[in-house]
């Protein structure tokens, strides 16, 4: 209603109501638009707040905690549906029969004696209203007693819960918003520390839809740095007040990945890989729950074994690499992903550094010596990469002789030239070419390095021995001295080499190995990256930054030194993810130590029985209840019994038997080699998990497609 008492038709021109003429005024100015023409409306923060406030209860290792509803440890005994319904019907008929017998007097009038004893004689007159009310109330009481009795006998309550309206309401009732001091969207930890203005700014950004899950995780990580003393509260508060949800950005400036294929929950750090199958071999608490991994589990390293096409890359490696990249954007992790070019490990935009070895268009190079300046350390890492697979495969062996040979050359060369040799130069030195060795000797004499001259003299003496390993090292380094790698492994400083010493920062790295034609060189490079990774992460100062190496194909990579390096990662705040097509790619003496060094083991469908045997041995056995059922024929001794038995034989077609059940405790394998080879459906995997605190999950059958 307008101020002049008339109504104006809004949104339609039908039946307009006349209004008195108004004095002429100037043209009305439309309000200023809040967004550019054609721009979509700004989203609100309801979806983000709902995600943030979703409960994440504590759960067993590997359970997807986002919205998880815990289940009991043991499966409750459920009555079969047919037995439950038939029992309820029979109980109803029994109650009806009892009431009918009482009502019609077939059981006598004893059940009316309490009624006659309680009512006064004046109520017993005919057509007394009080008598009618009391009598029918007594009838109702007796009927309710019978109804309750037969209802408990027939399990009507369970039938109601299973098939009644309680089972129809699947959705949980809407929960009330949490209190401000418990609402994570209000940042109570910042308010408790006195940073109220920063908390208000972040809460307003969340309500306005300007905050994402990566932003929340990144700012929470920065706040942890403030609490640990690495950052000042003033700098943190100033950054939040000026930048809001974009504060404390990753050096790349990215706030999310270009695309996501898996489900992530950065509040718990988990990535969902699949759903635990509803299978009797799985513990009841895990059945139907989501299966997820996070840094707490990857910190014990992971080994996935399965043939080509079983889903190692698409179902395991790609989601884990994507999750680690998100953690890197949040400042929580550093990740190095190694695989063949075109293996589907994520777009290049999802990484900060992409090293395409053998591709002339690659912007970055790979540092052959891992960024170290110590010749002995460089020699140990390079020896592991070149001939680590040729060492004795038993766990106690190493490549010490090869390390000594390389150290005898790398030390003098660096003392003379101030750098390590390139691949062609190192090949000439290992071959014992007289020109490079004479030039190196002259440089050492000019600089006065007497100790290094003795190293070079020892190297020249060993060249004449038939058992010298320098020839093997020269043959292996020759695999990298190919025209395809001419522009790589440069040590002159003209390229942009990437060194794994950069894992002190939240960096995302992808290394593409040569796709074809250089299989041996790819294995050498994989061993090189693994050796450099284990050497670098163990000397980091900030071990709260999780570091992870993902090797999409670890064929030829597992050596005695590699197994020892993987064992050291857990205490260094790091982990490794390795995949194999078969355990035959690992020397037999190293299979047990490799499975023992990794806390998370994945056996995908299509495994061979001999590979399954190794998994069955490492997973061990468990005590289970075995039932032996014996059917014994009943022999009748009387004529009546023989007649009854003959009648049963005619009706059922079987002789009357008595069943004897023997229950005993036996020890058997959790998953046998035959079950792993033939009972794992396509798209599924059996995996066991162990977190960095020592809690573990038994082998679980998981649907990786769920």
β-pairing verdict for 508-513 and 353-356: parallel
Element (H, E) at 231: none
Counting as low any pLDDT under 70, the low residues of the chain are 1-43, 75-77, 121-128, 167, 169-177, 394-398, 651-652, 706
* Phi and psi, residue 508, nearest 5°: -115, 120
Q: What is the pLDDT of residues 35-84, one digit of tens each?
A: 444 444 456 788 999 999 999 999 999 999 999 988 887 766 677 778 88
The predicted structure's pLDDT at residue 487: 83
- Global pTM? 0.81
- Own/partner long-range contacts of 144-147 (Cβ < 8 Å, ≥24 apart): 146/95, 146/98, 146/99, 147/95
Token pair for residue 273? 């890989």
265 vs 51, 217, 244, CA distance in Å?
9, 10, 22
First to last CA, the chain: 58
For tokens 């409750």, the residue is 76
Instruction: Tell me how far apart the alpha carbons of residues 692 and 558 are, in angstroms, rounded to a whole number.
Output: 22
Question: pLDDT at position 546, please?
Answer: 96
Q: Are 259 and 253 in contact (CB under 8 A)?
A: no
User: Which tokens hold the place of 114?
Assistant: 């309490």
Backbone angles phi, psi at 72, to 5 degrees: -65, 160
Reference 573, options 298, 351, 326; nearest CA is 298
Length of the chain: 706
Report pLDDT for 183: 87
Beta strand 657-669 with 621-633: parallel, antiparallel or unpaired? Answer: antiparallel
- How do 684-690 and 270-276 pair as beta strands? unpaired
Tokens representing 388 are: 């680590």
CB atoms within 10 A of CB 548: 29
In the three-class reduction of DSSP (H, G, I as helix; E, B as strand; rest coil), residue 423 is classed as helix
Nearest residue to 55 via CA among 166, 171, 177: 177
Cα-only R_g, the chain: 38
Q: What is the pLDDT of residue 336?
A: 97
Indicate the pairing of strand 290-293 with strand 574-580: unpaired
Angle at which helices 156-163 and 129-153 pack, to 10 degrees?
Answer: 70
Q: DSSP string covering 341-397, please?
A: TTS----GGG-SEEEETT-TT-S-EE-TTTT---HHHHHHHHHHHHHGGGS--STT-
What's CA 415's distance to the chain center, in Å?
A: 48
354 phi/psi in degrees, rounded to 5:
-125, 115
Identify the DSSP state of 178.
Answer: P
Q: Output the pLDDT for position 668.
A: 85
Query: Among 126, 553, 16, 94, which Cα is nearest to 337's?
Result: 553
Integer Cα distance of 443 and 661 in angstroms = 88
């Amino acid at each position: 209603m307008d101020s002049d008492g008339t109504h104006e038709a809004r949104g339609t021109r039908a039946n307009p109501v006349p209004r008195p003429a108004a004095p002429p005024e100037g043209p009305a100015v439309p309000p200023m638009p809040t967004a550019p023409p054609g721009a979509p409306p700004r989203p609100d923060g309801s979806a983000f707040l709902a995600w943030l406030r979703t409960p994440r209860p504590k759960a067993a290792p590997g359970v997807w905690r986002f919205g998880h509803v815990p289940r009991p440890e043991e499966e409750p005994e459920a009555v079969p549906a047919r037995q439950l319904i038939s029992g309820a019907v029979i109980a109803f008929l029994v109650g009806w029969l009892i009431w009918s017998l009482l009502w019609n007097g077939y059981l006598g009038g004893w059940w009316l004696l309490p009624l006659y004893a309680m009512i006064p004689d004046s109520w017993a007159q005919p057509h007394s209203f009080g008598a009618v009310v009391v009598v029918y109330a007594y009838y109702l009481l007796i009927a309710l007693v019978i109804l309750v009795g037969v209802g408990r006998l027939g399990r009507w309550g369970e039938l109601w819960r299973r098939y009644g309206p309680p089972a129809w309401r699947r959705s949980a009732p809407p929960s009330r918003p949490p209190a401000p001091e418990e609402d994570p969207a209000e940042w109570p930890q910042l308010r408790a520390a006195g940073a109220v203005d920063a908390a208000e700014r972040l809460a307003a950004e969340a309500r306005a839809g300007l905050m994402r899950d990566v932003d929340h995780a990144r700012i929470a990580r920065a706040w942890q740095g403030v609490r640990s003393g690495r950052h000042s509260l003033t700098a943190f508060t100033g950054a939040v007040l000026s930048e809001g949800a974009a504060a404390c950005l990753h050096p790349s400036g990215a706030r999310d990945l270009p695309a996501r294929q898996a489900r992530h929950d950065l509040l718990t750090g988990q990535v969902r890989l699949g759903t635990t199958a509803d299978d009797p071999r799985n513990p009841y608490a895990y059945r139907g729950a989501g299966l997820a991994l996070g840094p707490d589990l990857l910190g014990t390293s992971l080994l996935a074994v399965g043939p080509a096409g079983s889903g190692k890359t698409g179902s395991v490696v790609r989601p884990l690499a994507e999750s680690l990249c998100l953690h890197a954007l949040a400042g929580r992790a550093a990740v190095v992903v190694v695989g063949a070019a075109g293996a589907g490990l994520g777009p290049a935009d999802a990484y900060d550094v992409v090293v395409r070895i053998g591709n002339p268009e690659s912007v970055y190079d790979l540092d052959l010596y891992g960024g170290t300046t110590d010749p002995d350390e460089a020699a140990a890492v390079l020896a592991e990469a070149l001939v680590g697979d040729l060492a004795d495969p038993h766990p106690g062996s190493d490549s010490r002789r090869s390390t000594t040979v390389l150290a005898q050359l790398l030390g003098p060369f660096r003392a003379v030239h101030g750098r390590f040799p390139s691949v062609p130069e190192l090949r000439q030195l290992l071959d014992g070419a007289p020109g490079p060795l004479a030039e190196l000797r002259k440089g050492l004499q000019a600089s006065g390095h007497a100790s290094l001259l003795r190293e070079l003299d020892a190297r020249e003496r060993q060249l004449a021995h038939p058992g010298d390993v320098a020839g093997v090292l020269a043959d292996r380094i020759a695999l990298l001295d190919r025209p395809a790698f001419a522009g790589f492994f440069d040590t002159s400083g003209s390229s942009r080499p990437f060194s794994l010493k950069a894992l002190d920062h939240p960096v995302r790295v992808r290394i593409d190995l040569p796709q074809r034609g250089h299989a041996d060189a790819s294995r050498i490079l994989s061993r090189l990256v693994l050796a450099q990774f284990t050497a670098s992460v163990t000397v980091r100062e900030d071990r709260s930054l999780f570091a992870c190496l993902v090797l999409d194909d670890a064929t030829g990579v597992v050596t005695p030194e590699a197994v020892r390096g993987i064992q050291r990662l857990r205490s260094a705040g790091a982990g490794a993810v390795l995949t194999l097509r078969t355990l035959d790619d690992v020397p037999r003496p190293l299979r047990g130590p490799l499975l023992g060094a990794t806390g998370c083991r994945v056996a995908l469908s299509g495994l061979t029985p001999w590979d399954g045997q190794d998994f069955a041995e490492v997973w061990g056995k468990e005590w289970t209840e075995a039932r032996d059922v014996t059917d014994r024929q009943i022999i009748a001794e009387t004529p009546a019994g023989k007649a009854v038995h003959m009648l049963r034989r005619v009706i059922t077609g079987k002789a009357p038997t008595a069943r004897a059940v023997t229950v005993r405790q036996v020890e058997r394998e959790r998953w046998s080699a035959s079950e792993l080879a033939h009972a794992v459906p396509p798209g599924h995997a059996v995996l066991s998990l162990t977190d960095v605190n020592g809690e573990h999950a038994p082998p679980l059958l998981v649907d990786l497609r769920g």
